[in-house]
Amino acid sequence: EKNGTIELLGKTYKTDHVTNIRSSLIPKIGIGLHNMKHHPLNLLKRQIVDYFYKNFINRQKNPVFSVYDSISPVVTLHQNFDSLLVPEDHVSRKLSESFYLNSEYMLRAHTSSHQSDLIRTGLNAFLVFGDVYRRDTIDSSHYPIFHQAEGVRLYRGQELFSKMNITGDYQIFENGEKNETKQPLHTKEAVMILEHELKSTLENLAFELFGKDVETQWVDAYFPFTHPSWELEIKFQGEWLEMLGCGIMEQEPLTEAGAGDQIGWAFGLGLERLAMRLYSIPDIRQFWRYNDSGFMSQFDVKDPSTPIKYKEVSSYPQRIYNMSFWLTDGYSENDFYDLVRNVGGDVVEQVRLTDDFYHPKMKRHSHCYEIVYRDMSKSLSKEEANIIHKQIGEAASKELGVENRW
Ligand code: PHE
C-alpha cells in the first residue's frame, strides 16, 4: 500500500475514496487453506467433491460436476453484486460490510461471484471453492476471511424431465405469474423437479457429512439471485445450525450469461462453520495454524471421511480488558473491529460491545468494548497484553478520531 496503489496477487490496483482493505489482511489473501493437503478445510472440501462425483455421473460413468478451487478472490463489483441482481441499496454493498480495493474491484464476499462467468463458458454443473471476505464482528466464529463452497446445476427441458422418467408434453418455461413458489417464466412442473433434486441432494450431503441420523429442516429464505430460496438447518448438539443457502436460480442472470434456455439450482455453504462442528474445532482462528504441526498432524489422514475429533493442543489463559471512548460522526463498529484485527492480529480472540451510552448534556455517544486477548501458541503475559491494548487505543483515537475515556 504505497503511493495510492495496492499490490495484490501480482497485480497493482489504484486506491480511491472507497479503499478500505487493511494491510494486515494482505498476507493472508490467496493463501487458500482449502487447497492445503491435510488441512481440515481441505478434508471437508474433498468430502464434498467426492459426494458430487459419486452421485452425479453421466452415461459414460464420468462425473458431471467440474471443480474450480483456484479462482482469484479479487472480483469486480459487477461480479459480486450486479451479475447476481443485488439491489443498489442492499446492505451487503455498504463499505462497512465488504473489503474494497477501489470503486471497481473488491474481495469477493461469496463464491456466487463466479456463477455468471462459469455459466458463460458453457458449463452446466460446477462446484467452486474459495476464500471469501467480509467485515464483521470478532468472536470465536467470525474471521474476516472464511471459505465457501458453491454448487450450480443447470438443465435443458428434455434433460430435466427424462432424468426423472417423466414422459408427456411438459415444458420448463411459460409466460406465467410470479408467486411464492416460482418465477414468472418457470412452469411449476419444472420447479417441482428442481426443488426435489436440490433438496434431496443437499440433505444427503448433510447425512454424508454428519451421519444418517442427523436431523434436518428447511427454512424459507431470501437471496436476490434465487427464487424460491431456502436454508438447510441441521440439529447439532441440540441446536439448529444453518448449514447452507440455496434456491432456484433467477432466470435473468442465466439469460445474461447465455444460458437462457436452461433452468437450474444453486447453493452456497460456509466451510469453517461446518468443519468446526465436524471436527470439534472450538475457534475459527485455529484454521490459520497451517504451519503448526500440533494442529495439522491431527488431520493427517488418507481418507477424507475418516472421523476426527480435534484435541486442543493446549489452552493458554485469556487476558480481558475494557476500552471506552466517545464516538465521532461516521463511526462504524466494523471500522473498529477491523482496526483491532489490524493492530492486535490473531491474539485478539473476541471483541464485544458491552455498553452503548448517550450523554444527554454533552449530546455524545460512548461505546465500551470488552477485548479478550489470547495467544494460541504461548501464554500471553500481562505486559504483552498491556502493550497491544494500548496500541489499539492509540490507533483508535488516531485513525477513527474517537476520544478515549480511561
Ligand atoms: N451466496 C450466498 C451466501 O453467501 C449463498 C447462496 C449461494 C445462496 C447460492 C443461494 C444460492 O450467503
pLDDT, tens digit, for every residue of 8-62? 999 999 999 999 998 889 999 999 999 999 999 999 999 999 999 999 999 899 9
pLDDT at 406: 59
Task: Tell me the domains of the chain and their CATH numbers.
Answer: 5-286 (3.30.930.10), 319-404 (3.30.70.380)
Query: By C-alpha distance, which of 191, 268, 187 is closest to 228?
Result: 191
For residue 121, what are the CA distances in angstroms to 116, 118, 236, 366? 9, 5, 39, 52
Split at pLDDT 50, 70, 90, the class of 165 is: confident
What local confidence, expressed as pLDDT, does residue 314 receive? 65
What mean pLDDT is predicted for residues 262-279? 98
Number of neighbouring beta carbons within 10 Å of residue 163: 11
The pLDDT of residue 258 is above 60: yes
- Is the CB of residue 128 less than 8 Å from the CB of residue 114? yes
pLDDT digits (tens, 9 = 90+) for 296-308: 999 999 999 999 9
Phi-psi sector, 194: left (phi>0), alpha (psi -120 to 50), beta:
alpha
Q: Higher-confidence residue: 406 or 164?
A: 164
Q: Give 131 Cα–ligand 1 centroid separation in angstroms.
A: 14
Question: Residue range 243-253: average pLDDT?
Answer: 98
pLDDT at 1 exceeding the cut of 70 = no
Ligand 1 pocket test target in 131, 223, 229 with most atoms within 8 Å of CB = 223
Residues 155 and 368 sit within 8 Å (Cβ to Cβ): no
Q: How far is the CA of 241 from the centre of ligand 1 (A)?
A: 16
| pLDDT of amino acid 290 | 93
Q: What proportion of the chain, given as a percentage, has pLDDT over 90?
A: 89
Q: Which atom of ligand 1 is nearest to the CA of 112?
A: 1
Q: What is the mean pLDDT of residues 67-79?
A: 98
Which residue's C-alpha comes closest to atom 10 of ligand 1?
246
CB-CB contact of 78 with 115 (8 Å): no
Q: Measured between alpha carbons, how far apart are the two ends of the chain, in Å? A: 33
- Which amino acid is residue 183, in one-letter code? Q
pLDDT category at 316 given cuts 50, 70, 90 is: confident
pLDDT digits (tens, 9 = 90+) for 368-392: 999 999 998 889 999 999 999 999 9
Ligand 1 pocket, mutate which of 108, 112, 272 (most atoms under 8 A from CB): 112
Expressed in angstroms and rounded, the spacing between residue 387 Cα and the centre of ligand 1 is: 41
What tens digit of pLDDT does each residue of 179-225 get? 999 999 999 999 999 999 999 999 999 999 999 999 999 999 999 99
Show the cell assigned to 310.
480435534
Buried b (16+ CB within 10 A) or exposed e, 274-286: bbbbbbebebbbb
2 pLDDT higher than 60: no
Quickly tell me which residue has 458449463 as its cell.
Answer: 123
**Residue 45: which of 197, 209, 201 has the closest Cα?**
209
Is residue 253 scored above 80 in pLDDT? Answer: yes
Quick one: pLDDT at residue 166?
A: 82
Cis peptide before 144 (omega within 30 of 0): no
Stretch 83-104: mean pLDDT, rounded? 97
Q: Are residues 74 and 132 in contact, defined by beta-carbon separation less than 8 angstroms?
A: no
Asked if pLDDT for residue 158 goes beyond 90, the answer is no
Mean per-residue pLDDT of the chain: 95
- Res 282: pLDDT: 93
Q: What is the pLDDT of residue 148?
A: 98
Q: Nearest C-alpha to atom 12 of ligand 1 is from which residue? A: 245
What are the pLDDT digits (tens) for 123-152?
999 999 999 999 999 999 999 999 999 999
SS3 of the chain: the string is CECCEEEECCEEEECCCCCCCCCCCHHHCCCCHHHCCCCHHHHHHHHHHHHHHHHCECCCCCECCEEECCCCCEEEHHHHCHHHCCCCCCHHHCCCCCCECCCCEEECCCHHHHHHHHHHCCCCEEEEEEEEECCCCEECCECCEEEEEEEEEEECHHHHHHHCCCCCCCCCECCCCCECCECCCECHHHHHHHHHHHHHHHHHHHHHHHCCCCCEEEEEEEECCEEEEEEEEEEECCEEEEEEEEEEECHHHHHHCCCCCCEEEEEEEEHHHHHHHHCCCCCHHHHHCCCCHHHHHHHCCCCCCCCCCCCCCCCCCCEEEEEEEECCCCCCHHHHHHHHHHHHHHHEEEEEEEEEEEECCCCEEEEEEEEEECCCCCCCCHHHHHHHHHHHHHHHHHHCCCEECC
- Cα three-residue angle 357-362-367, rounded to 5 degrees: 25
Q: Is the pLDDT reported for residue 172 higher than 80? A: yes
Report CA-CA distances (Å) from 275 to 199, 207, 271, 301: 21, 14, 6, 15
* pLDDT band at residue 3 under the 50/70/90 scheme: low
Within 6 A (CB) of ligand 1 lie 110, 112, 150, 223, 226, 245-247, 266-268
Segment 105-131 shows an average pLDDT of 98
10 Å Cβ neighbour count for 64?
Answer: 14
